[in-house]
Each structure stands twice: as structure tokens, then as C-alpha cells.
Structure 1
Amino acid sequence: MRDIRFVAEHRGGLLKKEDHCLLMNWACDCAEHVFPLYGDIKDLRVKKAISAGRDWAEGIAPVGDAIKAAREVHSAAGESTDSLFAVIARSAGHAAATAHMADHCVGAAGYALKAVRIAGKAVDEERKWQDDKLSLKVRELVLSAREMKRI
């Protein structure tokens, strides 16, 4: 069962649109922050997913565009034999999917942490960076969801 705190008000949940957009931008920030671990990401589906998510948060693209971009970048992840690229792509996919279901933001952050781990970098530092990027309005929501999912 989905956490009702992440369900948008227009779907009968508790999440206000403004907070949903904060979660989207945070998820995109988390995904983008690990792009440099891979170097030059040539697969345009990864950056397209982030753009679609940010466009949705700005109100200039429908949720369907973000969902489509999320599916496309998850396909890129599934096609790859490079584990670092795959988790970075999955992070971007979850970021874009946040437009549809806000709790995907936690997945974006989780896959970003996996990318850091695979790259042999400091996971605790990345988690702190992610936490510091959280808006105070959604901080407790995200931190409690992370704890419940053990991310």
C-alpha cells in the first residue's frame, strides 16, 4: 500500500501540489548530482528524464511527458551492461516518475546513493548532501520514508 502522505490531494491524498513540486525538484537534484560519477552521459534519455520532471514541476509539461521519459530511461538502464550507468539512469527515471507518484523521489535518491557506492565514493557524504538539499516543508516526510524503506 502506498504511503498516503505521498498521494496528491487531487487523488484523495494529503500531498499539496507545491510540496509535490518540491519533491520533484529534490529528486532531480539527487539524480543530477551523481551524473559526474559517470563522466559524459551520451544517452540522451537520462537528461531528457530530468528535463521532463523539471518541466512538470514548473507547470509547462503534463504528467504524461514525465511518465514517458521515466519509462524510456528505465529502458536505457535495462539495456545497459554498465552497472554505474544503470543506477544513474534508474535514479533519473525515478526522478521523472515523481510527477506521477511522489514517493518515487525516494527511489531517485536511493539509486543515486547506489551510484556513489558503485563509484567507491562516500555514501554518508552523499546522503548528507541529499538531506541538506531538502526543503524544510518536505524534510520530515522524506526522512521518515527513507527510514521506513531503509535507504
Structure 2
Amino acid sequence: MPNDADSIELGEHELREIAGYAAQCARRVLPLYERGLPVGAPATSDAAGVPDARPRAAVEAAEAFAAGGRRTSALRQAAWAAYKAAQEAQETGTPAAVDAARAASHAAAAAFLHPKASAHQVKHVLGAAAHAARAEELASEAEPGITVGTLEWARRHRPDAVTAVLRRLPAAPPGGGRVGELIRALDAALR
């Protein structure tokens, strides 16, 4: 089993597949973000009441990278912008909106996975899927099985690169609350 000091092989094609997977997971919950914000809230929409586009832009940036685009500072900035949208949603949005924006942030950040055998890197591979599952769980409190279905979707739709890279990394780390539990469940299911 690798330890945190080891490097792992990580090809660009794997980064692209992981980012594409993360983007698919996050795209599933974008509507939860957009519906979970008050219309006209100054920090989250424009004067016309159009929802904050930062999470959607992060998902689109991840998709563009996955399709062959360059890994640029604009992609990194899109990840940070979606992260900031999540922070702002904590004040004005629903809990599901917060996790949906975090999923989008993780999707764009997945392109910057490091070739280091660190348990923390598992969060970069599976963060978008876990936050998407948590967003759906929060949005559908009346349906306790929704997270199981979301995790099953994430398991079935993962590309081979996700499993291959996870097998080079230590197991997901402890902690992280409910999202950490979801990451560990996915990690165990995908190895």
C-alpha cells in the first residue's frame, strides 16, 4: 500500500477522465443550487434575477478540460469561484445548494489532482460525487434511500481511470462529517 510520501503515476488522460466524471456528478445537482437560492439575492444572482452562474461555469470548465481543453488558471479560478459561491450559499441558500456548489468546485478542481500517494487525494477524485450525493440527500429528506441511489449511479458511471487511480492511493481518510462518510463508502465500492 502506498504511503503519503510516495508518488504515483498519473497520466493526463486519467486526469481528463476523472474531471469528466466529477463534472457529470456535479451537473446532476446544478438545479439544486440554482433553485436553492433566493431570487434577486445580491450575492447570488444578477439584477435580472438570473441565478449565480459560478457553479455552472465550474462544471463547464471541467467538461472542457475533460474534452481536451488545457489545464489553465481559468479552470482553477472557476473552481475557486464555485467554492466561494458555496460559502455565500451558506448564508442565503439551502443546505442542498451549498453542497451542489461544492460539487461543482470539486469538479473543476479534479483537473489539479496531484501525483502524490496521499489519502487527501481521494477527496479530489471523489469529492464531486460525494457532495452531489449529499446535496441530493439534503434536498429529498422524505426519501431516505436517495443517497444509496446516487452513490450507485456514481459507482456505475465511473470511468476506469477513477478505479485505477484510487487503487494507487491510500484509503480515504477519516473525518469530514457526512461527506467524508460518503467519500469512504464510494472509495470502498470503487476499489
Contact 2:32 2:97 in 1 (8 A): no
Q: Percent identity?
A: 26
Structure 1 unaligned blocks of 5 or more: 5-11
Distance in 2 separating the partners of 1:74 and 1:115: 15
Structure 2 residue aligned with 1:136: 160
Give the total of aligned pairs.
Answer: 144
> As a proportion of its length, which structure holds more helix?
1
Within-5 A mapping of 1:30-49:
30-38=25-33, 40=35, 42-49=51-58
Higher mean C-alpha displacement, 94-103 vs 138-147: 138-147
- Corresponding residue to 2:126 among 106, 113, 132: 106
Q: Relative to structure 1, is the Cα distance of residues 2 and 73 closer, same or farther in structure 2, using a 3 angstrom cutoff?
A: farther
Report the secondary structure of 2:69's partner residue: coil
Structure 2 residue aligned with 1:9: none
Using structure 1 for the length normalisation, give the TM-score. Answer: 0.80
Q: Relative to structure 1, is the Cα distance of residues 36 and 146 closer, same or farther in structure 2, using a 3 angstrom cutoff?
A: farther
Report the secondary structure of 2:111's partner residue: coil
RMSD over aligned Cα atoms = 2.7
Contact 1:31 1:109 in 2 (8 A): yes
- Corresponding residue to 1:126 among 137, 150, 153: 150
Contact 2:8 2:168 in 1 (8 A): no
Question: Which structure would you say has the larger Rg?
Answer: 2
Q: Which amino acid aligns with 1:46?
A: P
Structure 2 unaligned blocks of 5 or more: 37-50, 115-120, 174-183, 186-191
C-alpha displacement at 1:91, in angstroms? 0.5
Higher mean C-alpha displacement, 138-147 vs 95-104: 138-147
Distance in 2 separating the partners of 1:107 and 1:143: 16
Using structure 2 for the length normalisation, give the TM-score. Answer: 0.65
Is the counterpart of residue 22 in structure 1 residue 17 in structure 2?
A: yes
